[in-house]
Structure formats: C-alpha cells, structure tokens
C-alpha cells in the first residue's frame, strides 16, 4: 500500500506489484484432489450460457426494462437506504414481508399476513433454506422431471437425497402419481413446479391438494410448490396460494425476477403457515437480506401496477409462439409461463446450433428432443420465428414423429 493524496491507504498497483514480486507459484490442485463431498462429485454449476448474439431468449427474463420514472424511484430508494448503510438491515425484513403479504392477498382470496410470508435473495435462497430446515442427511426430497434443475442441485448441496420421479409423456402429473411417490419414498420435501420449468405446464389444484394430504398422512414433511412464473398463467388457472389455509404442510414460493422484471435485484419469497416461517428463521444467515435489496423490492411493489402491465404483453408473445409453432410441424407443451417448450427433434442440439448461427439463442435444458424459448419483445419473436422457419426448411418427420434436419 502507498499513501494517497487524501492521506488514506491506496491499493493502486497492489495486485500488479504483488504478482510481479511473488516468487512462490501456486501449487497445482484439481477439484478432484479436494475433500469434496461424494454427493457433489461430478456435478456442474448451474447457469445458462450467455452469448453475445442479437436475440437472447434463453433465460426467461422479462424483456421489458423499467421505465425512466421507475428507475428514478429505485435510485432514490437506494440513495435513501445508503444513508443507513452503516447499520445492519432489518434482519426479519418486516416491512417488505408486509408489502409482499398485501400483494399476495388478491391471488389468495383471503388476507395474507406478514407472519405467513418470508423473503430472501431470490427464490433459490428460499429453496435452499427449506432444504436446510427440513432436509439434510438421512432425508429425501423428490421431484417430478423434467422440472427446474435447481431443486435437485439444492437438495444435493444440502446433503439431502434426491429421488427423481418422471412426468407423463405429455409432461402432466396426476394426483395418483404424486400420492404413490409420497407413499413409496416418505420424503421430507416434495417439489412441485407450477407452471413447470421447462415445460410451462400448470398443475391442477387437486394434484397439489393430494400431495399435501399424502404428506400429512405419512407425517414425513412438506410440499413445496414453486410458482416462479405464476403471474403469467392463463385466465382461470388458480394459484396454489389459495390452498394454504387448509393445508399447513404446503409452501408456495415466488420470485420478483420474472413478472416484476427485477432479476438483477434477487428477491424471492414464500407464503406458508407461520410455523414454516419460524423454521426458516433458524437457518437463515444473519441479516441475509440487505438494506438496499429491501428498499428496491419495496419500491418495485409500490409500482406493481406499472411493472405488471408488461405481463400481458409477454403473454401475447407467448401465445403467438404457441399459435405459430404447430404450423411449422412442431409439437409443444401448453404454457402458463413466459416461455414455450417445443420439439420433437431427432437432434435438438443441431437445431440449437443452427438457430445460434442465425443470431438467436434459446435453451437446451433436456430431455432429448426439446428446446425452450422465452417470450421476448415482438421484434425478437419475429427474428426467432424467421430463423426457425429457415432452420426447418426441408426438415422431415419420421414415423415416430421425430423431426430431422436435412439441409443447411
């Protein structure tokens, strides 16, 4: 360190000087040489590839940026929060949870209270806290795949055994299937996803009710319904929040990343029985939700009408994709989310690459034969449909319904 003109230590050039004078090179060490838990060996970090292309439709973001007015309001909220940055934040985020409870009340159809809501850094931290509180060594979590891969990854990261059950060929899930899986495995956690990622399919309320009843009957744990895309569901599709009063073993998780276009702020939350909230307080890190995050999230909730006004525009592009793809000879899953799952390809990676060559990035999340595209802005969907049409020129469909590309 060298003195600066202000009299404070300066770190300018510190890294360069340190590396230039360091004559003790790091010893080689591979990940496989570390005492990593066996359950983590062979795993890869979660993440979507971010490539510099004109049209990115691979991460299910809301494509509509905040308005100038909202940007100004968010900036003022952050500035005000900065005046108390020397103090720890409200560790229980009481004001934010009250705002979230008020927001959930319209979906629930009853008055949601602060004690029934919990907030954290994205819904992934909520899921992690649930696994920390109710999972762990000797306990089982089950999910119905294909579904959100972080359910499995978070379970394994918390030393919770993961059991994968399979959805039907059309990606639906029945009450009988869920009940049988619960009776067979007696899990600590059941993960349901509605709308499901990556397929976009929503669950009927009777499936969720059956799962909660089965968990109560075996007395083994809780049911987690991941509703990250709930605001995009079609008219008449209810939220699982409506089922909470009669099902104390039910937890519904949400996020502000999608409909609220607040992915960069990392805010997730859940609604559940107050006892579940009390349990999560046991495993949360001290002051886990920063003053700035709480301030920004509360400001966004105060502007909910403006932010959610983009939801209908996103749904319109989703529905446009749903209308157009069958005309190209493609199969798709009905979607209540802001994305569409489409196929069936003999080689979906070849289709992914050819779309990328045309400047369009979609997501290959598996299983084989399927791709997922996010509902973007109208111009982005124009580009996607045009590129896909070019890719599918002279494609042929075999007797099993698989599509094979035959031209470049």
**Distances in Å between the alpha carbon of 343 and those of 77, 336, 392?**
45, 17, 12
DSSP 79-98: HHHHTTTTS---TT-HHHHH
d(CA 186, CA 142) in angstroms, rounded, equals: 9
Give pLDDT, residue 345. Answer: 95
Just give the CATH number of 55-62+306-404: 3.90.1150.10
Give pLDDT, residue 343. Answer: 93
Helix (H) / strand (E) element for 311: namely helix 304-324
Token readout for 110 is 């009853």
Give pLDDT, residue 408. Answer: 62
d(CA 330, CA 398) in angstroms, rounded, equals: 13
61-108 tens-digit pLDDT: 999 998 899 999 999 999 999 999 999 999 999 999 999 999 999 999
Q: Where are the beta strands (DSSP E) in 212-314?
A: 222-226, 250-255, 268-272
Q: pTM of the full predicted structure?
A: 0.90
β-bridge mates for residue 226, sequence order: 193, 253
Strand 117-120, strand 268-272: pairing:
antiparallel
Give pLDDT, residue 395. Answer: 84
- Spell out the long-range contacts of 403-406 with Cβ–Cβ below 8 A and sequence spacing 24 or more: 403/329, 403/330, 403/343, 403/344, 403/345, 403/346, 404/345, 404/346, 404/347, 405/345, 405/347, 405/350, 405/351, 405/354
Give the pLDDT means over successive 10-residue stretches in the chain (408 positions): 49 48 78 86 76 92 91 94 94 97 95 97 97 97 96 95 95 96 97 97 97 92 97 95 96 96 94 97 95 96 93 97 96 96 95 96 93 97 97 87 82
Give pLDDT, residue 151. Answer: 97
| 68-302, CATH topology level | 3.40.640
168-195 tens-digit pLDDT: 999 999 999 999 999 999 999 999 999 9
Give pLDDT, residue 220. Answer: 77
Q: Are 166 and 200 in contact (CB under 8 A)?
A: no
Terminal Cα distance for the chain, rounded:
59
Give pLDDT, residue 211. Answer: 97
Domain-wise residue ranges, the chain: 55-62+306-404, 68-302
- Coil/strand/helix, residue 282: coil
């Amino acid at each position: 360190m060298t003195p600066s003109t202000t009299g404070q230590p300066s770190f300018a050039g510190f890294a360069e000087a340190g590396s230039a004078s360091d004559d003790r090179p790091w010893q080689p060490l591979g990940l496989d040489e570390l005492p990593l838990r066996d359950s983590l060996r062979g795993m890869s970090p979660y993440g979507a590839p971010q490539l510099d292309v004109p049209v990115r439709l691979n991460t299910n973001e809301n494509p509509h940026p905040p308005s100038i007015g909202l940007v100004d309001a968010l900036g003022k909220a952050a500035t005000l929060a900065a005046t108390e940055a020397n103090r720890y934040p409200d560790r229980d985020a009481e004001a934010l949870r009250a705002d979230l409870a008020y927001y959930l009340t319209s979906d629930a159809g009853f008055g949601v209270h602060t004690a029934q809501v919990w907030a954290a850094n994205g819904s992934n931290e909520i899921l992690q806290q649930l696994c920390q509180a109710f999972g762990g060594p000797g306990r089982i979590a089950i999910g119905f795949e294909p579904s959100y891969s972080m359910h499995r990854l978070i379970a394994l990261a918390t030393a919770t055994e993961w059991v994968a059950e399979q959805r039907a060929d059309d990606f639906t899930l029945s009450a009988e299937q869920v009940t049988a899986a619960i009776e067979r495995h007696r899990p600590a956690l059941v993960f349901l996803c509605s709308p499901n990622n990556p397929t976009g399919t929503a669950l009927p309320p009777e499936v969720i009710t059956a799962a909660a009843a089965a968990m109560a009957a075996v007395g083994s744990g809780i049911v987690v319904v991941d509703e990250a895309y709930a605001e995009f569901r079609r008219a008449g599709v209810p939220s699982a929040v409506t089922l909470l009063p009669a099902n104390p073993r039910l937890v519904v998780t949400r996020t502000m990343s999608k409909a609220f276009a607040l992915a960069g702020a990392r805010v997730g939350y859940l609604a559940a029985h107050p006892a579940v909230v009390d349990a999560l307080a046991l495993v949360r890190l001290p002051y886990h939700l920063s003053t700035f995050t709480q301030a920004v999230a509360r400001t966004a909730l105060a502007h909910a009408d403006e932010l959610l006004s983009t939801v209908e525009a996103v749904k319109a592009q989703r529905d446009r994709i749903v209308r157009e793809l069958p005309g190209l000879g493609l199969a798709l899953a009905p979607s209540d989310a802001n994305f569409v799952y489409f196929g069936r390809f003999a080689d979906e990676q070849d289709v992914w690459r050819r779309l990328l060559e045309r400047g369009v990035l979609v997501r290959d999340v598996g299983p084989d034969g399927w791709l997922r595209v996010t509902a973007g802005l109208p111009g982005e969907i124009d580009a996607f449909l045009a590129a896909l049409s070019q890719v599918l020129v002279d494609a042929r469909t075999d007797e099993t319904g698989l599509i094979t590309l035959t031209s470049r």
